[in-house]
Amino acid sequence: MGITDRFNLVLNLPYVETEGNASEATLANNGFENERSGIQDVKIYAKYNFHTLNAGSSTIDLIGAIGLETPLSDYSADEGLQSILAIGNESSSFNMMGIATFKTDFGLFATGQAGYSFKGNSSPHALITELKLGYAASKFYVDAYVANQLSEKDGVDILGEGFVGFFPVVRVNYTRVGLNAYAPITGGIGVTAGANTYVAGRNIGKSTGFYGGLVYSF
């Protein structure tokens, strides 16, 4: 939501469904389930464009952002090994980021951001980065990105020394790539969709995710 030309607020409330590949025998022998779903964490971010540099017909925006993420539903990440499929880590986080965006007058853009995530519930704090390339026209939008997280070393490894089945304290590193797109339908209504997959990491499953939704612009 644009408050001014330079100040934006972003609200995100995802519904998440995870599905495992364990066999029926494994599920029955361990009392596990192959699915978890529900509303995950509400995410509220404030972004401010501190300065815009002109480079010919292109521009470079220098942006600062802060955000709060916190669980909104009563999902659990404290179910022992069943929590491999938890829809979140059941902890709040406060994130601070610096963002630089290069935009051409014909719609191509590149965005780089880096920041730090301060996490609660004994979760390790983490360095977060992202590089995004895309095209934004007056109505159509598409981007491709690579995102990374590097957690502090005070976290533990799954089934490693110090692990007691409580997954929020696990040290999670990853590299994730993905695509996002938006297209209008009619009036101020449009559709958005995307996909992402983890290509490397530590204490994280090699998984692929998809999303879709309706967008209303006013």
DSSP summary character for residue 162: T
Give domain status of residue 192, yes or no.
no
- In order of 49, 134, 185, 204, the CA distances from 98 in angstroms are 10, 19, 33, 26
* Pair of tokens at residue 62: 């220098």
Q: How much is the pLDDT for 1?
A: 65
Between 162 and 102, residue with greater pLDDT? 102
pTM equals 0.84
CB 38 within 8 Å of CB 16: yes
Give domain status of residue 211, yes or no.
no
Give domain status of residue 187, yes or no.
no
Q: Are strands 93-103 and 108-119 parallel, antiparallel or unpaired?
A: antiparallel
Give domain status of residue 107, yes or no.
yes
CB 15 within 8 Å of CB 37: yes
Give domain status of residue 218, yes or no.
no
Count: domains in the chain: 1
Q: How much is the pLDDT for 45?
A: 96
- Convert the pLDDT of each residue in 158-201 to its tens digit: 999 989 888 899 999 999 999 999 999 988 899 999 999 999 99
Name the residue range of residue 114's domain. 7-180
Q: How much is the pLDDT for 55?
A: 84
